A and B are shown apart, each in its own frame.
Chain A
Amino acid sequence: MLKEIHMPKLSPKSDQYFFGEWHKQPGDAVKEGDVLFEVETDKVISQVESQEDGVLKEQNVNTGDTTNVGDLVATIEVA
C-alpha cells in the first residue's frame, strides 16, 4: 500500500519552510523513527521522522525548495 507523506506543521508561527536534506533515497528501507528529511523553519532545523515502516518510493521536493504545510513530500510503500 502506498502512503503519501505531507509536510507537517513544524512551527506554530509559520506554514512555509525551506526544505533541507534528504536522509533517505528512493528504494531505501525506512523504519518508524528513522529521520526522513530536514526542514528549516524560523528558528530551527527540524529532523522529521518516519511514522511508518516501508520503502521510500518517491521524493517530491528537493533541497532548497520552499514548501508549504500539507504539500506532498514523499511516497512510502508501507510494508
Chain B
Amino acid sequence: MEKKEAPKKPEWLKVTYDQKKVDQMNDLLSGLKLNTVCAEANCPNLGECFGNGTASFIILGPNCTRACRFCDIPHGHPQPVDLLEPYRVAEATKRLGLSHVVVTSVDRDDLPDLGADQFVKTINLIRKMNPDTTIEVLTPDFQGRENCLDKVIAAKPDVFNHNMETVRSITPKVRHRATYDTSLKVLKYVKDHAPKSTFVKTGIMLGLGETDEEVYQLMDDLRAIDVDFLTIGQYVQPGPKNYRLREWVPMKRYATYYKEARKRGFRFVASSPLVRSSYKAKEELEAVYGK
C-alpha cells in the first residue's frame, strides 16, 4: 500500500459516520431515484444530516450548465426535465417525515424557464402531500430574470435562499456566468415582491482569500436590501482542479463575523466552519418563529 503523510485537515473537520443510518437513507433515496445535494456535493455533514433523517433535494440534475470553480456538482450536458421528480421529492419528504425540507437545483440555463416551473411544481406537491412541512428553496440566479423569480415567489416558499457564495472581488474568480450584482438583485427582488412571511436568506464560504473589510461590505450590501438570514461556512476544496483553498479560517473569526452580522440586524446567523446553506435549516426557522 502507498504511504502518505498523516492527514493535515483541521480537528473540526472530524465527523462521525453512522453507517446504518446512512445506508437506510440511501436505500430510501435510491428507491425514489432522487439526487441530494448532500451526496452530489460530497457534503461534510452528510453523515450527521442523514443520521438525523434530514436531506436537501437537488432537482433538475444531476448535471449543471455552469462550472463554478468551488463546486463539486458535475458540469455537463443537461438531462431532459423529469416530470415525475416533483412527486418523488414530495413522497420522500413524506416517508422521511421531514418537518422542514430544502429544495435546490443545478443551473438550467438551457431551459426556457431556467428551471423555475420545476421549483413551483415541487413546492406545490410537497405542500399538498405534507401540509405541515415548511419549505425552503435554494435557487440559481435565474439570470436575474424577474418572470422566473415571480413564479417561484408566487408558490410561497417559507424561505427563499440564493447564495452570494463569496465577496465581490472573488466572485468572478470562482463563479461561472454569475455576478455579485445579479445575485444581489435577485435577493432584493425577492425581498421586495415576496409575501412578508417569506424569509430571504443567503450564504457565503470563507477561506477563498477574502478580507474582513470585504466580508463586512458584503454584510452591509445584504442588510441594505433587508436580507433576513446569513450562513457562513468554510470552503473545502473538492478536488485538485477546483479553486485553491487559501485558508482554514480560525474559529475566532467565525465568532467575530457572527457578532458583526447580528449587530447589523440579520434575524438569524449561522457562522461556523461546517455550516452549509441548508445545514440545520430547520433549527434556523424554529429560532425565528420562537418555537
Contacts and interface: CB of A to CB of B under 8 A. Distances in A.
Contacts of B5: 64
Given A12-B39, A13-B42, A51-B20, A44 B6 contact: no
B80 interface: no
Nearest to A13: B42
- Interface size on A, as a range, is 20 to 34
A67 interface: yes
B248 interface: no
Contact of A42 (B2, B19, B239): B239
Given A45-B14, A46-B17, A11 B4 contact: no
Interface residues of B, number: 27
A64 B6 contact: yes
B72 interface: yes
A65 B3 CA distance: 5
Interface string A29-40: 000000100101
B13 interface: yes
Contact of B1 (A11, A43, A46, A67): A67
Given A49-B16, A64-B5, 13 more contacts: A11-B42, A12-B46, A13-B238, A18-B7, A42-B42, A43-B43, A43-B236, A43-B238, A44-B44, A45-B9, A45-B14, A63-B6, A64-B6
Interface of A: 8, 10-13, 18, 20-21, 35, 38, 40, 42-49, 51, 61, 63-67
10 contacts: A20-B7, A21-B6, A44-B13, A44-B15, A45-B7, A46-B17, A48-B19, A51-B19, A64-B5, A66-B4
